Structure 1
Amino acid sequence: MARSFEDKRSAHQKIAATLRRQITRGDLAPGAKLASTPALMEQYGVAGTTVQKALLMLKDEDLLVGHPGKGVFVKGGTQQAVSPAVYMPPAGAGEPYRWITEATKQSQRGSTKLLDVGAVAPPHEVAMTLGLGEGERALLRKQILLLDDEPTELTCSYYPLDLAEGTAMMDRRKIRGGTPTLLNELGYPPRAFVDEVSSEIPTEEEVVALELPKDMPVMLTFRVVYSDGDRPIEVSLLTKAAHKYRMRYRLLVT
C-alpha cells in the first residue's frame, strides 16, 4: 500500500511552480498575457496576496514582467537546450572558443570572464578522477560563461599539473580557442567525455556569480574529458541556473 505524502510548500510556491512549468515547456509562450489576479484567485482558490507572491517569484526569475495598466506577461521563454557534444572538438586554427561560435549560431553573443587561475588542492572527487595522491595539486581555471552579457555558467575546470606546467594554461589570461584547443596542440586531443548531471542547492558563490533568484536550484554537471588511452585530461564542475537550461544528448543505440 502506497504511503500518504503531502506537498508542504506554501500556496504561492505551488502556484509559481505550476506557472513556471507552463512557461519553460512552452505552454505559455513569450509575450503571452497571464490571466488577471481575480481569475487566478478563483482558479487556485487563494487570496490576492498569495497570487501576487507567486507572480513576484517568477518576476524575480526573469520569467514574467508586469506592465502597469496592461497586465502581467511572459518574459522568459522555454528552457534553452545545451548540447555538450558540440563544445568538445577543439576550435579550428585562428577560431575563437567554441562557446562563442556556437552562441553566434543561435543569434546570441557569447563571452567569457576569467575569474581565477592557479594550482590548488582539488575537491575529493576531482582528485580521485585525476588519480592524484594526498596533497597533490591540480591546475584550476575558473570562469563565467555569458550569453548576451548575462551570466550563464560558472565553470571550474581542473587539469593535471604535468600537462599544464610550462604552458599558457598556467597564465591568468584567456586562451585563444580555449583549453581544448591548447591540449589538442600539446598532443592530448579529447576522445570522449562523461557527464554526471544533478540538481543541487547552490552555494553562495554560485548564487552571486550566476545572479540567481532566491531558492532557485542549480544544474550541476560533473564532466570528465578523456584523451588517448582513456587518460583524464580535464575534470570540470559546470553550474547553470536550473530554470533556464536543459541538457540535450543524442546517443546512438547499438
Structure 2
Amino acid sequence: MTATRTRAARFRDLVGAEWIKLWSLRSTYGVLAVGALICVGITANSARSNVALIARSASPLQRLGIDPMIAAFMQEAFQILGVVAGSVGAIMIFGEYTSGLIWTTFTAVPARRSVVLAKVVVMTAVMTAFGGLVSATSFGLTQAIYHQEHIGLSITAPGAFRAFAASALLAPVCALFGMALGAVIRHAAGTIVAAIGVLLLAPALFQGETYRWVKEIGNAMVYPAWAALVKNPAHQILAVPGRPSPGAPTEKYPVTITEAWIVFAAWAIAAVVIAVTTVDRREV
C-alpha cells in the first residue's frame, strides 16, 4: 500500500482562494458600489452647492471662506467609506463562521495564521484600490466643479496628494480593523455595531481640551488622524473682526502630520496582530 503525501498549501494558493471567496459574494459588489456612489455623491453635491453660493454673491469673504479641499474629502462622506470598508473586512472573517465554511477551510489548511494572513493580503489590496478609486474620483470631480469659479485645486497643490493618499489608505485601515473585530466577536450585528462605535462615535468622547490626556486619546483614533492629514495648509481665511487671523491654531493639542501617519500604521498593524492571534488561539 502506497502512502499518499499531502503537499502543504502554498501561500499564493491561499491568497488565490481568499480572492475567489471575496468576489464570489454578490454582496461584495453591491456594498462597494453603493458605498462609492454615496461617498462621491456627497462630495460632488457639496461642491455644487458652494459653486452656486459663489455665483449668487460677489462677496470676497464668501469666496475665500470656501476650502476646495473640504468638499473633496468631506468627513461625512469618508465616514461612510470607513463603515463600508470595515463591514466588508468584518464579513470576510465572521461570514465563514456563520456559514460554517471555516471548518472546511481549517481542515484543508491547518495553518490558521497563514489563512488569516492571506485574507489580510487580499483585503488590503482590494480596499487600497477601492479607497484610491473613490478618493481620486471625489477629488477630480469636485475640483472640476470648482474650476468653474477658478478656485479648483490640482493634485500638486500643497497638501492635495497627502489628503488623497490618506483618504485612499483610510479604506484598508478600517477594513483591517473590521477583520479584527470579526475575529473577536464572530457575530454580524455585534461586529458592525462595534466598528461604528469605535471608529465614528468614540472620538466624540475625547474632544475636550481641558485635559491633555483626554485629547491625546482622541488624537490616537483613526478619524481625527485622517482629518489632520486632509487639512488644506494653503487655505487662508480673510481676517475680519471676531475671527482668528490666517494661520492661527484652532485647537489646543492638534494632531501633527507625523503622528497621524503613525496612528494609521499602528491601527493597521494592531488589527492584523489581533486577527491572526485570535483565530489561531480560539477554537472554531
Q: Quick check: TM above 0.5?
A: no
Higher helix share: 2
Q: TM-score with structure 2 length normalisation?
A: 0.26
